[in-house]
Structure 1
């Protein structure tokens, strides 16, 4: 029986139905961005991935595949021993790599052969990233945005947590960006995420909002620190009747 697979739109619609979302890319790829809630079971380390890639270009694809296969087999064995031994029979993982190819296919095959109902993300992270970009390009017209505006230092940023504490629904863009905006700069000891990671965090936050309730958000320009906000969201913030000055 062929391995089960889902494309990005279908997988994201049922993401919560999987017990574990497994990213088998290298730790560096995972750190840049990953699917919501994913765990990293790399089949190649950062160094191993570079070594195999260099061998592929400088020596031959065959030699690279032989080395890569040996490394992947050892790493998968370690993951199975460390993370899979105690999984129950009904455990259902979703596995992905960069494009849904050999790395995720190999891990998914092993899990499937053990007897777990395993699904591979067709198109991998690349397909997920394309879906995130497409969704963020659509103006969120279904959201009831109330935009808090005012001069720097007027307390807009402090108002959002206070509203959340009272049960209001907030979208804290500066918290997602790890930056206080304007001249106030970054948060001490908290580097900003990559643009891809910020997009994923924002995408997840938008999906979690209840469209039947108001959403309080601080007025922002097109950029927070070095991170770009989606033009569709910026435009929606500045719609008529949305801005409240504080």
Structure 2
């Protein structure tokens, strides 16, 4: 019997053996429920061809041709990706709105004998849930920011604190961008919708009764915009501020951005995208340092003359500061000591 569901809580999703998205690859790439696998019943070319025939030609021919394509694709999935699944396999299947495409897949899977469930409303059910949580509802979580100037070690500290059992939210990892001029990551960023799906999934797995440590960011991470509910909570959050000497911050920046530092062309291209208020002479000097491989001198100059002034202009405003934590070297022990101090600060916060 085909089951139907609308519950997309983490516990419900984790209860299935697989989340199967039967939409086309391009639809899946734009956004999907986190953890889903793509087993399309029509690929992009097939979907376009059937749609064109349906609108411009014969609706009957479109349905007959589409049915044949769907049958062949489902057969390929049964013999391929699903070929090793036994009779206990419990999948959740969805398409765009929970209509014909998911209906075709679950009908066959039900006949195979698998206890299959179809998502009522399809992907649109998930998207409505994401939008409600990130745009229309105040965030239930109590955020605490880890703040500090460029190179102070915020991302490394976030990871070290997470290892101590503190709840953290890594926005840069979710957005696949380090949040700076040189912050692009291999593979590029997810779409805005995919970023929001990742963010909603991460938040839904955190305990709203306990504080969540998140790195202070601007309202955009690369090209991705932090949704209103999260940005409002971040703007009102108290902070732990990291402090580190300029020379340590420059060395950490060179280490953390080793990939772009090792690519002179990419580094030069990034420098040409600096804000317009930076003088042409200064940009030229920085490009000369980059071309000569003087990356630590370049990092120091960028920190002193670009990033630190920008950080001071933004300022913490009226943000409440919970503690100042120093990281005086790149040694692992210095990071661990700072993480221990930050964990203690969060542990001392009263329950929400």
TM-score normalised to structure 1 length: 0.90
Long gaps (5+) in structure 2: 243-352
SS of 2:81's equivalent in the other structure is helix
Tell me how far 1:215 sits from its aligned partner: 1.6
Tell me how far 1:232 sits from its aligned partner: 1.1
Tell me how far 1:60 sits from its aligned partner: 2.3
Tell me how far 1:151 sits from its aligned partner: 2.5
SS of 2:177's equivalent in the other structure is coil
Q: What is the CA deviation profile of residues 115-149 of structure 1, one whole-angstrom value per residue up to 9, with x for unaligned ones?
A: 111111111011111111111222223x2321112
2:129 is aligned to 131
Are 2:230 and 1:229 equivalent residues in the alignment? no
1:243 is aligned to 239
Tell me how far 1:34 sits from its aligned partner: 1.1
Structure 1 CA distance, aligned partners of 2:69 and 2:177?
A: 40
Q: Is the 1:220–1:234 Cα contact (8 Å) retained in structure 2?
A: no
Tell me how far 1:184 sits from its aligned partner: 3.5
1:6 is aligned to 5
Q: CA RMSD in A?
A: 1.8
Tell me how far 1:52 sits from its aligned partner: 1.1
2:87 is aligned to 89
The within-5 A match list for 1:74-153 is: 74-137=72-135, 138-141=137-140, 143-153=141-151
Q: Is the 2:8–2:126 Cα contact (8 Å) retained in structure 1?
A: no
Structure 2 CA distance, aligned partners of 1:184 and 1:243?
A: 25
Tell me how far 1:105 sits from its aligned partner: 0.2
Structure 2 CA distance, aligned partners of 1:168 and 1:6?
A: 33
1:66 is aligned to 64
Structure with max Cα Rg: 2
1:195 is aligned to 192
Structure 2 CA distance, aligned partners of 1:66 and 1:5?
A: 27
Tell me how far 1:63 sits from its aligned partner: 1.6
Q: Is the 2:93–2:106 Cα contact (8 Å) retained in structure 1?
A: yes
**Which structure has more RCO (C-alpha within 8 Å, separation ≥ 6)?**
1
Structure 1 CA distance, aligned partners of 2:117 and 2:155?
A: 42
Aligned length: 240
1:21 is aligned to 19
Long gaps (5+) in structure 1: none
Q: Which moved more, 1:66-75 or 1:211-220?
A: 211-220
Structure 1 CA distance, aligned partners of 2:51 and 2:81?
A: 27
1:206 is aligned to 203
